[in-house]
Amino acid sequence: MSNFFQQSTTLAHPFRPFFLLAGVFGVVTAIAWICFVFGGLSLPLGWSPVHWHSHEMLFGLIPLAIAGFLLTAVCNWTGAAPLHGKTLLALITLWFAGRAAMWTASWWPTGVVAVIDMLFMLVVAIYMTRVLLRHGNKRNLPIAAILILLSIANLMMHVGFISGDMQWLKIGELMALGLITLIMVVIGGRIIPLFSINWLRNQGAQEGCVKSFAALDRAALIATLLIIPADFFITLPWLTGTLTLIAGTLNALRLIGWSGWRTAREPLLWILHLGYGWIVVALLLKSAAAFNLIAPTAWQHALGVGAMGTLILGVMTRVALGHTGRPLSLPRFGVVIYIAISAAALARVLAALQLLDYRTGLLLAAIGWSLAFATFTLMYWPILTRPRADGRPG
């Protein structure tokens, strides 16, 4: 049995099981939520259904994508061997334990649910920190620190539930949204222009059209970072509104500099530019919401369904190919994944802006989201469970 786990292809590298789980869980959570909203599905949640739904997206689904990407990237950053076999299975088990606790939360003491739910992200953060320190890679320590802060945000939501104080739930949720935005801005700023330049070079085009400016990058990162503490000052909405307007503008300028329209012939690239564009939309909508111009649910869903959903699928579809030794070419009909998630994001945001009937928008968003994640799962299952095409380990 021990040899089976050590030799299992699916457990050969972190991205394999975590990307598969992200695909499956993305479908499960969407269907469960729609069954609750439209069918009156009763789950032993204990939590407010709305906050449970938010929590499971932020601390159930998103950590899968984060772990799959970062635990793979840290090997490239440091040269460390990938987490695999029984050790990787143990980490996966922690994630399952957290979901089981949250989906049956009313059956257990609230403190026990909180501890079990928080273990996965904490262990990932500690493991990453140890690997980075062991290999002297201090440049990426801030990313590990963000994971620890995400665990604190999760704790805040649990404290809010345990105490009945909705303010803790709200602050924990906002902090998580801000930290995940920061991760997307950091990682997106690294991979999107780099991937675009490499593709343009291979096409014989002028990669010089993809421009990054160090000062602009720093300013965009700082502005995005400052939104997180600003959200704690609930009585000063103008502060959040101003900072998000600045961050949205700076990230828009950054995105324009990457010349995404020049990658229109390559779905694996334009989807990443589109996903980053949703970050810009979410930040600008958040600014408008802070000044009471629109409902706050608009920016939350532009960020959650638009930016997070699009970038998760965009990154997974590309990384899964590259790290299994396959050509960087989207499988046939794979563009359905991108069309479906884009339709889901648009429908959900339009519904939040009251430009589309709420029930219709919610149903369309759920269908698009489920189709995107289900298509990814079915299409990439063989890729993620079979040996590398080039015969190399991993």
Q: What's the whole-number mean pLDDT along residues 188-198?
A: 95
- Average pLDDT along the chain: 93
Q: Answer whether 67's CB lies under 8 Å from 124's CB.
A: yes
Q: Could you tell me if 254 and 219 are in contact, meaning their C-beta atoms sit under 8 angstroms apart?
A: no
Q: What is the pLDDT of residues 203-246, one digit of tens each?
A: 887 777 899 999 999 999 999 999 999 999 888 899 999 999 99
Which amino acid, one-letter code, is at 129?
Answer: T
The band of 3, judged by pLDDT with boundaries at 50, 70 and 90, is: very low
Q: CB of 129 within 8 A of CB of 144?
A: yes
The secondary structure of residue 391, as a DSSP letter, is: S
* pLDDT tens for each residue of 250-285: 999 999 999 999 999 999 999 999 999 999 999 999
End-to-end CA distance of the chain: 19
Contact predicate 150/118, CB 8 Å: no
pLDDT at 147 over 60: yes
Per-residue pLDDT, averaged over 365-394, amounts to: 93
d(CA 297, CA 193): 30
Give me the percent of the chain exceeding a pLDDT of 90: 85
Q: pLDDT by residue (tens digit) across 120-141?
A: 999 999 999 999 999 999 999 9
- C-alpha–C-alpha distance, residues 74 and 297, integer Å: 34
Q: Dig out the tokens for 242 from the structure.
A: 């101003």
> How many percent of the chain have pLDDT more than 70?
98
Per residue in 56-77, pLDDT (tens digit) is: 999 999 999 999 999 999 999 9
Compute the C-alpha angle 177/309/32, nearest 5°: 90
Model pLDDT, residue 219 = 97
Per-residue pLDDT at 68 = 96
pLDDT in tens, 16-42: 999 999 999 999 999 988 888 887 777
CATH homologous superfamily, domain 2-385: Cytochrome c oxidase-like, subunit I domain (1.20.210.10)
Radius of gyration of the chain (CA): 20
Averaged over 183-198, what is the pLDDT?
A: 96
Q: CA distances (Å), 91 to each of 68, 85, 133, 139, in order?
A: 11, 10, 20, 25
d(CA 194, CA 171): 35
Q: At 130, which helix (H) or strand (E)? A: helix 110-134
Are residues 135 and 78 in contact, defined by beta-carbon separation less than 8 angstroms? yes
Amino acid at 126: I
Cβ neighbourhood burial of 66 (10 Å; 0-12, 13-18, 19+):
buried
- How many other C-beta atoms can be found within 10 angstroms of the C-beta atom of residue 322? 14
pLDDT given for residue 1 in this prediction? 43
Tokens read off for 9: 């292809």
